[in-house]
Structure 1
Amino acid sequence: MISSRSAPLRRPLRSASLLLAATIGLAVALPPLSPAQADQKDPDWPCIQRRAGALSPGVMWPAPLDQEAKPSKDAQDLSAALALRRVDMEEAKARVDSYAKAHPDLDMAALGTIFLGAFNRIDHDRNRLLSGITRYARGQIALSKRIAAAQAEFDSLEQAEKPDFDRMDALEEQLDWDKRIYTEREKSLSYVCETPVLLEKRAYAVARLLQAVAP
């Protein structure tokens, strides 16, 4: 049933709509990306931090790495532990020191194999995260366009001679929900964007820990 509410009763909603339009206006004209990204000209990268290219273990390790080496079970376990972010660097150092004491015959080749195992795990997590950030950016762009389309329809209906108040109510509910999702995603962006950098730093830190026990 068509609502009998008059247009003037919806004026407060109009103000809210204008506020919403102002909030997302720039995001619609330009996707929700940082100034740094504008310099990179990469619409799929919404982070302030520049997107680094592929990591190379050879840059972090000062000796040749044997990609075909078959590490022992305890070496694999150490690699896995060193790659885990929940294992802080103090604990990581203790594990490396303990392993070195238990294996007095360690050389750079064996340590390099342990490093390579940790690096491959860290790099896998980093690449998966980078792909997730790309999906995030595309999702935000799509959501901003959906918000803009709903806002345009709402404004058009409100200006009609006989506004469809039921449709306007539905659009208003959709706008409120979509804007809330958009905002919450933006709040989590800072943490998400920092994580690839933290993974890169961890790979370098692991390399230094292992080199410190080299003969």
Structure 2
Amino acid sequence: MLSSGGAFAQEASRARPDPDWPCRQILVGTISLPAVWSGPPVDSVKWRDDAAISDLVTKLAARRMPVDAAERAVEDFAKSKGADRQAQLTALFVGLFETLNGERGQIIDGLRRLGRQQKELAAKIRAENAAIQSSPAAPSPNEGGEDQKASAAETLALDLRIFEERHQALTYVCETPTLIEQRLFALARAIQRNMN
């Protein structure tokens, strides 16, 4: 069940940045219902009980389906409905809103975890680098210092590679919440266009 208030309002995280947020984009934890919907009230809409709507929500929410194809599917669905078209389309919107907002939330949680992991790895890399820099330049051969320094250098190189690979992956993954938002906005507009 949705409401246009509290639970689905945008987070106040815009005012105070999340220290674990690794992306350049401003973090907005959830999409505000009024930002995407100006149609009929959605407070008591149940969409999961209708198998056709539930299946269509799953199909339209899948990002592998191009948005233009998803918009055509909304039009086809609307054309197949009679007197209850508005109620059916409202239920379709509620299903998409809940599904896409939930999916987006999971991705944001994953990004936060990755941001924490990157901060921890960066601290580890700094400590490893400092330890290598502060170790004696020429340890005595019978202390095994050369082997330790080589091992520490290998560990540092591995950690640096992992850090860089994650950083490169973040560039793509950070776009995902925005892509989901854009999909939801486009589908909400398509649904509202087909209401009458």
Give the TM-score category using the shorter length: 0.7 to 0.9
Cα distance between partner residues in 2 of 1:56 and 1:112: 16
1:173 aligns with 2:146: no
Tell me how far 1:41 sits from its aligned partner.
4.4
Structure 2 counterpart of 1:88:
66
1:207 aligns with 2:188: yes
Q: Give a deviation string over 1:95-153, Cα, whole Å, max 9, x none.
A: 11221222132443321111010111101111011111111111111111111111111
1:197 aligns with 2:178: yes
Cα distance between partner residues in 1 of 2:174 and 2:62: 18
2:109 to 120, 124, 131: 131
Cα distance between partner residues in 2 of 1:214 and 1:76: 19
- Between Structure 1 and Structure 2, which shows a larger proportion of helix residues? 1
1:116 aligns with 2:94: yes
SS at match of 1:158: coil
**Which is higher, the Rg of structure 1 or of structure 2?**
1
Instruction: Calculate the TM-score normalised by the size of structure 1.
Output: 0.75
**1:111 and 1:214 in contact (8 A); partners too:** yes
Q: Give a deviation string over 1:162-213, Cα, whole Å, max 9, x none.
A: 3711110110110110000011111111111111111111111110111121
Letter of the structure 2 residue corresponding to residue 103 of structure 1:
K
2:33 to 51, 57, 78: 57
Instruction: Calculate the TM-score normalised by the size of structure 2.
Output: 0.82
1:66 to 13, 21, 42: 42
SS at match of 2:178: helix
Q: Give a deviation string over 1:10-51, Cα, whole Å, max 9, x none.
A: xxxxxxxxxxxxxxxxxxxxxxxxxxxxx9643211211111
1:75 to 53, 59, 64: 53
Alignment RMSD (CA, Å): 2.0
Letter of the structure 1 residue corresponding to residue 46 of structure 2:
K
SS at match of 2:174: helix
**1:83 and 1:118 in contact (8 A); partners too:** yes
Cα distance between partner residues in 1 of 2:146 and 2:92: 66
Cα distance between partner residues in 1 of 2:113 and 2:165: 16
